[in-house]
Chains A and B, each alone.
Chain A
Amino acid sequence: MRCKRCHGPIRSRDTESLQKVWAWLVAGIIAFIPANIYPMLLTSTLFDRSEQTIIGGVIELVHYGSYGIAAIVFIASIMIPVGKFIAIAYLAWAVQHRSSRNQHQRHKLYDVVEFIGRWSMIDVFVVAILSALVQLNAVATINPGIAALSFGLSVIFTMLSALAFDPRLIWDEEEPVRHD
């Protein structure tokens, strides 16, 4: 069946929804591990070469005294991805266990996850800008490390995981009868 207005497919429920959610989520978590272990930025100046991981970048920003920016990077690259893994896993788990509790809150949580996920991309863009800009021959060059790639993939995989979740599944269990 197709929508008569936008010709998109119409289904009552996406029966493979949870399978896709788990698959993308696992892929996202796997990609997140090297993203934190390996360097995000490879900096070489006249005197030395240094490698910087995501956490290393945050610590350096704190050393410079840019607490606000450090907080943005920390929230976008660590807290949002980890929070998203937990949130999506909880949503899928609750549907699988036919939970009928907190349906409104779970729907809200889904909205938040869907809205906020793309903001994790900030760090990948930072790396892209720095490495494009800082190409000063011998004086200083910055190149993207392998973590930039795996972090970007992790964000994309988790976005796909969130998009695969069918929020209507939240409402399929009967609400417990409340005597009020």
Chain B
Amino acid sequence: MPRVHLTSRNRTAVQTLLESMSLPPLDDLIACPHCDTLHIERALPEGGSARCVRCGIVLVTRRSDALVQMVSLACAAVILMMAAISFPFLDINAAGFTNETSVLSAIMAFSSGNGVPVAIAVALFIIVLPLTRLLALIYAVGPLVLGHKPRPGARIAFAMTEQLRPWAMAEIFMVGVAVALVKITGMAQVTIGPAFWAFVTLVIITIFNDRIMSRYTVWKALDLTSRD
């Protein structure tokens, strides 16, 4: 069977054909965030999920507790972040000298020279941006979970959590820590502090939350609650 290809000759013809076909209302269409394939939304059974027919990514999951789970994980992550930046992260001991670092003091320690921009970048990528994402998510989705109307700017806040995703690099920082530990073990004795484990847990929770987070569910919930 010959396939229809869009050439400049038949492009207008295809366009008029598309326009004459009755497309469902825009609100019922879902475009796959990965490959832009258009799908028509169907009501899903509780606990069900729908995948893109072309690339297989999860489009919609229907779990009544999805939003609750998202917000509670985000709250847990914020608390862990507080612990991770204030408790001792790593202790080093060499020839009688010791140095104890928390993430916060590590950033404060740079006060001159090349360290300043590096410290600012590290602070942004591993503390400020991840924290902003978490707080924006709680701000946008939290009121919905409690049954309130969304706060002003909830949409902007949620759009921001999505846009900041590539710039929050806590998990990359953990790989960096692993490399640094290997480099240093020949030189000195290193003890791992409680903040290290808080950070590991934080990274795992964040990755898990980003995985289960269904953008579509959040937007739908924001649409429904702001309508009435």
Tell me, in angstroms, the Cα distance from A154 to B180 when the chains sit together. 21
Q: Which one of B105, B107, B167, B175 lies within 8 Å of A72 (CB-CB)?
A: B175
Q: Restricting to A26-76, which residues have a CB under 8 Å from any CB of B?
A: 57, 60-61, 64, 66, 69, 72-73
A109 within 8 A of B: no
B110: chain A residues at CB < 8 Å are: 131-132, 144
A61-B183, A152-B118 are contacts. A134–B99 as well, Cβ < 8 Å? yes
Which residue of chain A lies nearest to B109 when distances are taken between CB atoms in the complex? A132
Contact yes or no, B99 A135, CB < 8 A:
yes
How many chain B residues touch the partner (CB < 8 A)?
55
Tell me whether B17 is interfacial, beta carbon within 8 Å: no
0/1 string, B66-82, CB within 8 A of A gives 1: 00000000000000000
Contact of B179 among A114, A122, A156 (CB under 8 A): A122
A125 to B184, CA, bound (A): 14
Choose from B8, B98, B105, B118 the contact partner of A148 (Cβ within 8 Å). B118
**Which single residue of chain B is at the shortest CB-CB distance from A114?**
B166
**Segment 42-100 of B: residues with Cβ below 8 Å from A:** 90, 92, 94-95, 97-99
Give Cα A127 to B141, complex, Å: 37
Q: Are the CB atoms of A123 and B106 closer together than 8 Å?
A: no
In the bound assembly, the distance between CA atoms of A132 and B188 in angstroms comes to 14
- Report the Cα distance A69→B219, complex, angstroms: 41
Q: Which residues of chain B are within 8 angstroms of A152 by Cβ–Cβ distance? A: 117-118, 121
* Distance in Å: Cβ of A46 to nearest Cβ of chain B: 8
Size of the A side of the interface (Cβ < 8 Å), in residues, is: 52
B183 touches A118 (CB 8 A): no
Across the interface, do B187 and A126 meet the contact criterion of CB distance under 8 Å? no
Assess the B172–A134 pair: CB atoms within 8 A.
no
Cβ of A90 within 8 Å of any chain B Cβ, yes or no, is no
Asked whether A121 lies within 8 Å of B6 as measured between CB atoms, the reply is no
Residues of B with C-beta under 8 A to A117: 166
Interface residues in A111-138 by Cβ distance below 8 A to B read 111, 114, 117-119, 121-137
Could you name 26 residue pairs across A and B whose Cβ atoms are closer than 8 Å?
A5-B223, A57-B183, A107-B35, A118-B167, A122-B172, A124-B121, A124-B122, A124-B176, A125-B175, A128-B122, A131-B118, A134-B92, A134-B99, A135-B109, A136-B94, A136-B95, A137-B97, A139-B97, A140-B94, A143-B114, A149-B117, A152-B121, A159-B166, A163-B166, A175-B6, A180-B3
